[in-house]
Amino acid sequence: MSGPALFTVQNLTKRFGGLTAVDQVNLEIHSGQIYGLIGPNGAGKTTCFNLITGLYTADEGQFLFDGRPYSPKAPHEVARLGIARTFQNIRLFASMTALENVMVGFHCRSKAGVLGSILRCPHQRREELDIRRKSLELLEYVGIAQYADHVSTELSYGDQRRLEIARALATNPRLLALDEPAAGMNATEKLKLKELILRMRGDGRTLLLIEHDVKLVMGVCDAVTVLDYGKVIEQGSPQKVQQSKAVIEAYLGGIHEHP
């Protein structure tokens, strides 16, 4: 793809004791792309995500975001810089409604902030109403507006994952990272998720996707990187990756134990 990349990963390496979980990984994500990061269990996908989103610190390598060096120190700083993520294990505010969960995403970048919304100073009322309206719009966007007033844990598993996406979108990220969004979903939920991902791309969003469902990845991604034992074993279009001997061998290799 031509033009400068929105997000670049250069020689990324992370070790846990004697284990190199991520080993000299390079990748380039361009604006408007859906970029897939796949690989067998233990390949290093989540570690990569945790490095990109500031949960872990890299041992080697660097990131460029919009051409500038990006060194995430903490997750809240990552959100402020324009990267949002969802989690493999859903992390919603369990006692809040679906609507309130999305409102928290907006408050992260509102002038009033979460505390202001609780104290409800008069001049913050208007901003609060605006956030409420925009949160409802996002719930509609991901297809769960009918559950706005339901406590988040009452929602089905698939809907909770869509709620996480809505909350992440509330921060208006330039890069949205989804960590196994289809995990635990049934076929109908996966189809709806696919539609939502394609809709986000249609609206110009840039997505990084870790996903075990290879069919989903091949169906939505513009470019894919395949990891195995922390190393990139293939990179390119879904067509190229699907035909790669190294990828086929890695997936047929069965249970992956690190040496």
Ligand X SMILES: Nc1ncnc2c1ncn2[C@@H]1O[C@H](COP(=O)(O)OP(=O)(O)OP(=O)(O)O)[C@@H](O)[C@H]1O
Task: Write down the least CB distance from residue 21 to ligand X, Å.
Answer: 3
* Alpha-carbon span 241 to 165, nearest angstrom: 27
Q: Residue 184, interface with ligand X (CB under 6 A)?
A: no
- Which residue lies nearer to ligand X by CB, 15 or 174? 15
Q: Nearest Cα to 161, choosing from 142, 135, 140? A: 142
Task: Give yes or no for a contact between 51 and 58, defined as CB atoms under 8 angstroms apart.
Answer: yes
Q: Residue 39, interface with ligand X (CB under 6 A)?
A: yes
Measure CA of the first residue to CA of the last residue in the chain; give whole Å: 36
**DSSP category for residue 207:** E
Task: Write down the least CB distance from residue 176 to ligand X, Å.
Answer: 18
Judged by CB under 6 A, the stretch of 36-44, 60-68, 102-110, 154-162 that binds ligand X is 36-44
Residue from 36, 44, 105, 181 touching ligand X (CB under 6 A): that is 44
Assigned token pair, 23: 């080993």
* Alpha-carbon span 214 to 210, nearest angstrom: 10
- Which residue lies nearer to ligand X by CB, 19 or 136? 19
Task: Give yes or no for a contact between 210 and 46, defined as CB atoms under 8 angstroms apart.
Answer: yes
Judged by CB under 6 A, the stretch of 14-22, 28-36, 182-190, 233-241 that binds ligand X is 14-22
- Which residue lies nearer to ligand X by CB, 19 or 151? 19
Task: Give yes or no for a contact between 30 and 64, defined as CB atoms under 8 angstroms apart.
Answer: no
Judged by CB under 6 A, the stretch of 13-21, 25-33, 78-86, 102-110 that binds ligand X is 13-21
Assigned token pair, 75: 């997750």
Residue from 45, 107, 161, 167 touching ligand X (CB under 6 A): that is 45
Task: Give yes or no for a contact between 28 and 7, defined as CB atoms under 8 angstroms apart.
Answer: yes
Residue from 46, 86, 117, 206 touching ligand X (CB under 6 A): that is 46
Q: Residue 157, interface with ligand X (CB under 6 A)?
A: no
Task: Write down the least CB distance from residue 19 to ligand X, Å.
Answer: 6
Q: Nearest Cα to 44, choosing from 215, 250, 244? A: 250
User: Could you list the residues that contact ligand X (CB under 6 A)?
Assistant: 16, 19, 21, 39, 41-47, 258
